[in-house]
Structure 1
Amino acid sequence: MALHLYALAILMGAIMSIYIPMISQSARVMGAAVMGNVPFFFVAFVTSVVIALVSGQRGDSFRKIADVPPWLFLAGVMSAGIILGATFLVPRIGTGALFVLLVTGQILAGLAINQFGLLGVPAQPMTLSIAAGAVLVIAGAALVTFGAVT
């Protein structure tokens, strides 16, 4: 079992819980949710190019961007939508509710992607233990989101 990979995934989740409120703060400073996203994507782009260059990628690798099917560029639109939505939601529902609801959406979409082997992911049929785990995560999300309601 690759425990270090699971630890990396947990670290990435922790980083998400930090950077999304940071973007929300940026939007507040700039006076517009849409503008909070702009410096984020600029820095992300520059960082990605630097990492690619440092890891040995050269001109041929960058030219392959033209080979990417156009519909896959929708991932950038989705990313912007997630960041903009999070920027809007953080001050309204808080980070706790936002993140457990994001995880709920990820669980539901992940189950469908795995079940049908969508987007090039190997199919992983639903099992009782997978369904039970998903129900527990979703129940936990409901408790975190609505548990404080009096």
Structure 2
Amino acid sequence: MWYLYGCVLLAGIANAIQPGMNGTLAKDLPQPLAAGLVVGAGTLLSILTVGLISGRMALPSYDQAAQIPWWAWIGGVLGGGIVITQLLIARQIGAAPFLGILVTAGVVTSIALDHFGWVGFAQHPASLWRILGGGLMIAGVAIVALT
């Protein structure tokens, strides 16, 4: 089980590095959003490669697809929005404020998602400690972003 936390740790490190890489690509290409296509192609190839190697790549049948909630199909649009903000904003405000705001917004939102059991998450009450932790993250990112 601990290796899963290690994988998330590596993803967090990649999440901090990726905006700079994507922003540089956006700056150096004739049009910044063209970098999004390069990023999307890299994402597609990564998922396809891992899926094929692991044997975990299969398209759903029509009946299976019809059973999936409508909102589950638009997660890629949200991912696209994240990449677009990396391409257009991250370099301008800096790595620390960008990632601090991104992560803090994600944690605060996830407290609500867990509390109400929205978008497929199991319900976990928003305890005083969770709320306090979210508040401390807001305070911390404000210090990082405003200094």
Normalising to structure 2: TM-score of the pair? Answer: 0.88
DSSP-derived class of the 2:42 partner: helix
Counterpart residue number, 1:130: 130
Gaps of 5+ in 2: none
Counterparts of 2:69 and 2:16, CA distance in 1: 31
Q: Distance in 2 between matches of 1:21 and 1:128?
A: 35
Aligned partner of 2:44 in structure 1 is 45
**What's the secondary structure of 2:11's corresponding residue?**
helix
Deviation per CA, 1:82-116: give whole Å up to 9, x if none. 11112111221011100000011101210110110
| Count of matched residue pairs | 143
Partner Cα distance (1:128, 1:91) in 2 = 35
The residue number in structure 2 matching 1:34 is 33
Mapped contact 2:22–2:87 kept (Cα < 8 A): yes
Unaligned runs of 5+ in 1: none
Equivalent in the alignment of 2:14:
15
Larger mean Cα displacement after TM superposition, 110-119 or 84-93: 84-93
CA separation in 1, counterparts of 2:106 and 2:90?
A: 18
Cα offset, 1:8, TM superposition:
2.3
Identity %: 24
Structure 1 residue 65: deviation in Å?
6.9
| Range that drifts further, 3-12 or 123-132 | 3-12
> Is residue 98 of structure 2 the alignment partner of residue 88 of structure 1?
no
Q: Does 1 or 2 have the higher relative contact order (CA < 8 Å, sep 6+)?
A: 2
User: Does the alignment pair 1:103 with 2:91?
Assistant: no
What is the deviation of 1:27?
0.9
**AA aligned opposite 2:101:** L
2:140: which partner in 1? 140
Show structure 1 runs of 4+ deviating over 2 A. 2-8, 68-73
Please, which moves more after superposition, 64-73 or 74-83? 64-73
The 8 Å contact of residues 112 and 126 in structure 2, kept in 1 or not, is answered as no
State the AA in 2 paired with 1:20: P
CA–CA distance in structure 1, aligned partners of residues 31 and 70 of structure 2: 29
Residue type of the alignment partner of 2:97:
A
Q: Which amino acid aligns with 2:132?
A: A
